[in-house]
Structure 1
């Protein structure tokens, strides 16, 4: 997981990386490339005041877990969890 101070916009996030946007110590966004291979950038809001919203936690080894699941609905329409740094595909 890489911490950045601003949203990556259209910058390409390397496959397998999660970018955490933190501004003044506040987690704002979790950004990643779709693990389904379609190339879509996924931006997840971490703002507790907005819906939908997600939560990112790290374990002792700094592996991210994101909840709830992520359902990318643009291109490949994949649905998955990120738990302890691993992709777990949701069953269809």
Structure 2
């Protein structure tokens, strides 16, 4: 998990990395490349007042856990969890 101070915009996020956008100590976005291989950049809002919204926590080793699941609805349409830094695919 990499902390950045602003949204990456069109910057390509390396596969397997999660970028956490933190501004003024406030978590704003979690950004990653789709693990399904289609190349879509996924931006998850961490704002508690927006819907949909996600939460990102990390363990002692900085491995991220994201909840709830992520259902990417463009191109490859994959559905998955990120738990302790690993992708767990939802059964279809």
State the TM-score, normalized to the length of structure 2.
0.99
Alignment of structure 1 residues 9-48 onto 2, 5 Å: 9-48=9-48
Count, aligned residues: 92
Where does the alignment leave 5 or more consecutive residues of structure 1 unmatched? none
Where does the alignment leave 5 or more consecutive residues of structure 2 unmatched? none
State the TM-score, normalized to the length of structure 1.
0.99
In the TM superposition, what is the alpha-carbon distance from 1:57 to its structure 2 partner? 0.2
After the TM superposition, list the runs of 4 or more consecutive aligned residues in structure 1 that deviate by more than 2 angstroms. none
Give the equivalent residue in structure 2 for 1:80: 80
Give the equivalent residue in structure 2 for 1:60: 60
Equivalent-residue separation in structure 2 for 1:60 and 1:2 (angstroms): 15
Give the equivalent residue in structure 1 for 2:91: 91
